[in-house]
Structure 1
Amino acid sequence: MAALFYIFTISLLFSSVSGKLQDDFAAEIDAKVLGFRKEKLTHFRVYWHDILSGQKPTSIQIVKPPSSVLASNGFGIVSMIDNPLTVGPELKSKLVGRAQGFYALASQEELGLLMTMNFVFDEGKYNGSTITVMGRNAVLNKVREMPVIGGSGLFRFARGYVEARTHTFDLKTGDATVEYNVYVLHY
């Protein structure tokens, strides 16, 4: 009986393919087969805590450029992150996920980062879903915009953008708290 159900499900999936396979590997399918309905826009506001100091930093330098090319702004430095995402600017406020990925000092002229990270949610209906952000972060600008380039779980086929605003920055430790407003279109 299970085998019959499996065959029925597979035949249903292939019956929704419009046309035959192109070049023997690609075909258009109806998005409803995958459970996609109406697209919606969701706004999140989270606080991203980049902790370089203390016993358990959430950001660690993994690449240091050769001293012969090290610019005064740190060009070439790459740091891996596993930063807490909270609902408020205080680190002790409710944790809703983590920002996991890396950032690199990618500008020779100014303090410009290449950010590549997943916002991994572990709270409520978004538990287990991710939003992928990748783009340029001109750290000294009041507001920085970066694209949302995808996601997983509830955010499959996601697209949108984030706005980052520095909330606090400690010159002595390098620790920072950044407010992220995320605007994401998803199904």
Structure 2
Amino acid sequence: MAFIYSILANRSFLWLLLVINIFGTVYGYYWYGYQLEATPAIFLPFVPDSPTATLFFVLALIGFLLRKNWGLFEALAVMTLFKYGIWAVVMNLLTLMITGELHWTGYMLMASHAAMAVQGLLYAPFYRIKKWHFAVAAIWTLHNEMIDYVFYQMPNYGDLIRYIQEIGYFTFWLSIASIAAAYFTAYRSSRRTYKI
């Protein structure tokens, strides 16, 4: 594991990861553009879920490159990267099961979102998350469900719209799983000695 952590902490690797995540974040906000135009201003921070998750990670990476730990962004990143990474993979698989087909962009989304979930967890031993960071990130993660499934600000589900209640239920428990994953991989590990 020490070898893997040495690669993750390498500054050249951090710069590469930063560039990739900036590109993914910008593309993600562009992808949400049509929906953001129709979104009331009060809901705007909570609609583009995946690019906001990668934005949190971008800020955490910038902190690493400055040799600082920005615990709030680290907590938000690990929870939301895991949640929306897994969520997108499951939704695309569900689309494939229901329709019998998936556009090539669906496979691209599955690969990129699986990578989101993995990268958030890989850096967990480097995070320095305090109790209040963890609490704010958990509230943000659960609050987002209210915005999506109470105020109906979720992404366009296409053929999956008829399963909206089941998707909302699944997403709530995925939020709980993401908070638990953050707790066991990042919050508890924040007392370890791994440093960037």
Provide TM-score, normalisation by structure 1: 0.25
Rg bigger for which structure?
1
Higher relative contact order (CA 8 A, sep 6+): 2
Higher strand proportion, which one? Answer: 1
Between structures 1 and 2, the one with greater helix share: 2
